[in-house]
Amino acid sequence: MEEKKDYKNTLLMPETEFSMKANLAEKEVMYNAKWLENQIYQQLLKRNANHESFILHDGPPYANGNIHAGHALNKILKDIIVRFRTMQGFYSPFVPGWDTHGLPIEHKMLSEAKKNAKDFSAVELRKQAAAYALSQVEKQKEQFKRLSLLTDFSEIYVTLDKKFEAKQLKLFQKMLNEGLIYKDLKPIYWSPSSQSALAEAEVEYADHVSPSLYVGFEVSKETEHIKKGDYLLIWTTTPWTLIANSGVAINADFDYVLVKANNKRYVVAKDLLETVAQVAKWEEFEVIANLKGKEILEAKYISPINKMECPVVEGHHVTLENGTGLVHMAPLFGEDDFIIGNKNNLVKIMHVEDDGMLNDKALQFANVFYDDANPLVGKFLEENGLLVAFKKIKHSYPHDWRTHLPIMYRATPQWFVSLKPIKEEIQKALNTVQTYNDWSKKRLALMLENRETWCISRQRTWGVPIIIFYDKNKQPVIDNEIFDYVINLVEQFGSDVWYERSADELLPEKFRNLGFTKETDIMDVWFDSGSTSIGVEPGNVKAPFDLYLEGSDQYRGWFNSSLINSVAWRAKSPFKALLSHGFVLDGKGQKMSKSKGNTIDPLDVVNKYGSDILRLWAANSEYTADVTIDDKILLQTVEIYRKIRNTFKFMLGALSDYDFKDVEVSSIHALMLERINNLETRILNNYEQYRFVNVIKDINNFIIDFSSYYISITKDILYLEKVNNPERRQVQYIFSQLILMLSKALAPILPTTAEDIYTYFNIPLKEISVHMLPFIKGHAFSDDLETKWAPFFELKEEVYRLIEEKIKNQTMKRQNEAHVIINTDSEWIKSLPLTKLLMVAKVSFGNETKVEKLDSVKCLRCWNHFEKNNFDEKLEICNRCKEVINE
């Protein structure tokens, strides 16, 4: 039996060492080492040093604990932007920063040391906290390096740096000089568990069960209708504040009633009577008189616990939403209480210490934790016949975001920034900022619009001290000579100097021995991080910076404090443009938590798949909203990656004998070039708008389409024609253009893969790295060829459908056996090499479009089917293949 002829050696098969298997985890280590060794980042900075700068200023993450998926999303998005701007030629140093002061660091240090704050002197505690913070910076820095960021971390910033602290204190001095900073007794969020004031951004709301009490306050001074021994009925969910009660507020315009129930007479708002009667379980009650709010203002009553005679006052905050229409006032325990208390000279009683314990002013309730006093107060009121009703209610209540324990409103002496004088300037500055959607600017404007003051003092030790001295009469001394002197010391020795030296040692000579004392409070950490546009100059570039990009929680955090501080410092926004991303949730859209076991550790993903997969997930996310991640989503990401990689492998293999000379393209190849140029323009536009999800979508869709059609039809040309066949060179030219364009376009997102592709892309005059290449360019959009070729693709779809039917009903086995008869009047379609473009055996023209099986023989070299007249029966190959072999 005659042996089958083998023509395998006559084929021009693809050849490349670019592997199908990505091995990203290993390759990343290799390429990272190469980038460091060749100082790619520093080379790029040097190359672009005299160009226009583009600074993406890194908002400082907290130096505490391992990085999580949110950190990874944030740093990857930033890195994509820094990389593409750098490739565009901008001078774009990236200086990562860390927030290093504040309670969480102090807490963590103490819990790891298994000690309490009181076990340390202030200086010792600060030294320990600083050491802990810096160890966390090192740990996170090493973890961030695993994300393949375009920075060598040679320049970073930390908020505990003495030069940074000095700049921050210069800002404080300027704000003080301009009358923006003042000290005042004011109710603020106070956390007994942290023993510190909290900013609004440090408050979270959670369900809490509170006692709901309806209490009668006995009238001591009569009015026309209200008699001694009647009761003003109030409602409260914080019984412990009744100890400090010194007034009752009503609304002068509301209608009230005097009602008799259970042989007692109560004053209550008319509209709330039914609800109150229900809660108090009054089976029978009688309205004795209708009153206007104004009349009640003339009454006085005896406060139930402190026994003071107290007035009834007008309150802007009294509503008919719930309660009784009469509101009990404890001026030091509520914002409205405080304002109304000041206006009406109500007595101010502070009966709660910093740790939440009640002091001697709480009388018989002293030495009890404030929350534990609630049942005791309730019992006292009941025993004295003043408790009208009691129930428990579940409601949303403010908690400390770090200890997750309830907080209170409590008036303490604090330092504040007044925003009123610069409100207009802030708004003006915000108007200059570019955002990429309408709601970003609105959201920030709204946050600032509703903010009158900012409490910047904290009762802790670990932070930047508020460098104020008090004279012997306890009055703050505001003197620039003193500030300059202290700031100079901080610049030399760091802010520990405030704790290491006595007041006199910190003062210029002429102020010594005058009995001055030091402020012990530190600054809110948001003031630290809000000062970064003043204290940080990436690559010696000063703010305003080009872009801030952080999580959406930073509208009330870093975006907010940065804008306030920058306007106070330079009357400008610190950012020219603003971008935000959502939170990272699990695959079901739920918050990640260790207790739920649904966390995804970014470093686990990097170890398993490589950072390029994590980066592709980030780029392929609609990051402006919350984004999801789980194993299933990561596997889908791997699939997208695999398709991209395999297409590159094929194209690189096809270029093994290419000479990289420019070629004039025609026919389908010219159409492909038009498509590549249009794709490049779309990708560039999406990069400029930071729409990375569209970059990936467009590339992925293009590659699927390109592989399924163009690569399929060109295999025949690549493998079977002569090396220098002009059409073969056109295909190679198209591949080379696509590889070059896409390796640049993907470099910011997939740095390792792009470098890997470029390593095996044997283009002449290669750069040392793909990242040294200029970025993609835009082209004038053209769809001339797309329009011209549209009829062909309509025809192709119809023909493929007919072939599919034939294969399904087993009239023929494969596409390349088909004889296609086409009904067309188009001379242009008739002029095309349709056999090749449709990948069929024969094309002819008739008065209907149909498909038949061709009576044919199969070429052993190209595996296409031919009629016998186009075939060498002896060699068992087609005439085209015979001609190529003979050459």
Rounded-to-integer distance, Cα 304 and Cα 267, Å: 16
Please report, in angstroms and rounded to a whole number, the separation of the first and last CA atoms in the chain.
30
CB atoms within 10 A of CB 784: 10
pLDDT tens string 464-508: 999 999 999 999 999 999 999 999 999 999 999 999 999 999 999
pLDDT tens string 337-358: 988 998 899 999 999 998 899 9
Note the pLDDT of residue 392: 86
Could you tell me where the DSSP H helices lie in 114-215?
Answer: 122-145, 162-177
pLDDT tens string 716-725: 888 888 889 9
Q: The whole model's pTM is what?
A: 0.85
Residue 878 annotated in ligand binding: yes
Buried residues in 34-53 as b, exposed as e (16+ CB within 10 A): ebeeeebbebbbeebeeeeb
Quote the radius of gyration of the chain (alpha carbons, Å): 38
Range 114-139 average pLDDT: 92
In the block, tokens 């910011």 appear at: 748
Q: Which residues pair with 255 in a beta bridge?
A: 292
Does the domain at residues 795-886 carry the CATH identifier 3.30.70?
A: no
pLDDT tens string 153-184: 999 999 999 999 999 999 999 999 999 999 98
Residue 859 annotated in ligand binding: yes
Note the pLDDT of residue 452: 82
Peptide bond into 544 cis (omega under 30): yes
pLDDT at 1 over 50: no
Percent residues over pLDDT 70 in the chain: 99
* CATH of the domain spanning 198-406, picked from 3.90.1200.10, 3.30.70.20, 3.90.1280.10, 3.90.740.10: 3.90.740.10
pLDDT tens string 194-251: 888 887 767 888 888 889 899 999 999 989 889 999 999 999 989 999 999 999 999 9
CB atoms within 10 A of CB 333: 27
User: In the chain, what's the furthest Cα-to-Cα distance?
Assistant: 128
Residue 594 annotated in ligand binding: yes
pLDDT confidence bin for 276, thresholds 50/70/90: very high
**Contact residues for 337 (Cβ-Cβ < 8 A; gap 6+):** 187, 329, 330, 331
User: In whole angstroms, how far apart are CA 213 and each of 137, 350, 376, 379?
Assistant: 50, 22, 13, 11
CB 27 within 8 A of CB 610: yes
pLDDT at 106 over 70: yes
Range 407-420 average pLDDT: 89
Structure tokens at 215: 């209490």
pLDDT tens string 763-800: 998 999 999 999 999 999 999 999 999 999 999 999 99
Residue 881 annotated in ligand binding: yes
Residue 455 annotated in ligand binding: no
Rounded-to-integer distance, Cα 655 and Cα 653, Å: 5
Q: What are the structural domain ranges in the chain? A: 198-406, 795-886
pLDDT confidence bin for 714, thresholds 50/70/90: very high
